[in-house]
Structure 1
């Protein structure tokens, strides 16, 4: 049985059990459990969270393997506890926090700038810290596991559609439609923005999954080159790093957006800026069930199996999100 929020409001720890790495490399070579990681002092605008569930993102793997070293310098300080997404319970407040109180159930992506200025205490930990502005109240209809799957993926999906000025009546092609971000782009395009037609690429076994998610035209990338289709799109949203091909599938006057660095102009490349306000704005769609959490069959992964979970995320075969739960 899951502990209630009341159980967390009495004791405030100074240390936490956490997964960490002290050098860059593959998960199986560098990840270890630290029994007593020190929790930093809370800043005035931060809250301390008892982590209940945490989801994994491709950015975690890229950070761990030092994929960004020639583009950014995301980790000047090792060792590091990985993890961006959290769902949990507030156990302590900074002096200026007004949005939350102790005992509140919250969720969010704790790294505001996506790849730079990242926290050394991430979410794969019994406790973590985040700024108030990065968090939102967890909708009561979502479990902690479901809530943890949303923040980075749905915020990235939203920011890309927003930057491309996507709007009702436009068509979209999503590259990597079955992934964490892709599944949310599809749902937002359909239910929030009112897309006229949605196409998406995936592997053969996921075509029916995409149809059920609302895709009008699933494309099996193992059998078809999407850029050679006669049909072109108002927006191509690239989640996989095929930007040059994506640009060939854009209709005249349309746009391409990519989340995979370095990007290829004129495609719009961006790195997510985490905002709790996006989760607040989308909350009615989560509560109505129009925008759903998409969980990979591997979910939930116990805390002890984090290395195996990261190795699986690295294969890029996940459908939706891999979430770690319970966290001791």
Structure 2
């Protein structure tokens, strides 16, 4: 396991040693050990990482029962460069530019050492080569959101010619559900909800109908849809979602309580999903969306979490560069 660079023994990483709000418990440590590379893993020099709501939900202790022991290095999404390869890993070589979600299961015993660090280790099966046309920052914002978007559409058997309503169309997952439904699955109509200021964005992503949820009640829409994808995930939205679906239609939600016939799922990360969708990213048919505030440098990760937690972020909140 020779390495193309000499890896430091101690690195900087955003770590929490107790549960609580990110602003209070997340600290930048400079003496974190580089995790050992197991035989099926690669060591990545992290160039960019993205934040996800699951990060701060874990931090406040919502999923303690299946969490690893503290301290935890936060972060799921990563884009970076392979610097060391495990003895049985043969998919990537040193120097490869890769991206992925470091946790195979979002909530079932995720890693103690996540992506908000200078280096992280990841099973090679969770990674794919970074699309050549995307920057590290753009690539970092894709994995967890696109895997969630794709898996939700698969779970409800979405197919060409069907109609779909996306609740929360301007968020990290919602922006990708719109694009996948249209570009990958061949939806006949995509409707999506957002606040007033984001309606034009929804149309630019491919939504045929952009609905202002501050003015229109979802349950009062005259048209019903084959599938409703609730990318917001609060119980109030989930109840509304069921009222917007055709008889015999399907509803999928990513978080919170569900009202039948809606189904709830937690994403399973797979590099094979990223590989399958890479051609759509490389052709520009599916585009990553970084929040208009731009990227946040590694030192401003707390500010980035603060912005994400307002619930007003558009697309993905990305940490870049990571020195």
Q: Same fold (TM over 0.5)?
A: yes
**Partner SS, residue 47 of structure 2:** strand
Choose from 103, 118, 132 the match for 1:140: 132
User: Would you say the 8 A contact 2:164–2:187 is kept in 1?
Assistant: yes
Gaps of 5+ in 1: 1-7
CA shift, 1:266, in A, is 2.0
CA shift, 1:68, in A, is 3.2
1:225 is matched with: 217
Structure 1 distance, partners of 2:50, 2:112, is: 17
Is it true that 1:40 corresponds to 2:19 in the alignment? no
1:176 is matched with: 168
Matches within 5 A, 1:104-183: 104-183=96-175
Is it true that 1:266 corresponds to 2:261 in the alignment? yes
Choose from 178, 189, 192 the match for 1:200: 192
Is it true that 1:57 corresponds to 2:52 in the alignment? yes
CA shift, 1:76, in A, is 4.1
Structure 2 distance, partners of 1:204, 1:262, is: 27
How many corresponding residue pairs?
318
TM superposition score normalised by structure 2: 0.96
Q: Deviations over 1:148-196 (max 9, x none)?
A: 0100001100000011100110000000000000000000000000000
Q: Deviations over 1:31-81 (max 9, x none)?
A: 111101012221110000000000001111111112334xxx232411111
TM superposition score normalised by structure 1: 0.95
**Partner SS, residue 28 of structure 1:** helix
1:4 is matched with: none
CA shift, 1:263, in A, is 2.7
User: Would you say the 8 A contact 1:63–1:74 is kept in 2?
Assistant: no
Is it true that 1:278 corresponds to 2:273 in the alignment? yes
The Cα RMSD (Å) is: 1.1
Structure 1 distance, partners of 2:290, 2:217, is: 28
Structure 2 distance, partners of 1:116, 1:271, is: 9
Structure 2 distance, partners of 1:35, 1:180, is: 30
Structure 1 distance, partners of 2:141, 2:165, is: 23
Gaps of 5+ in 2: none
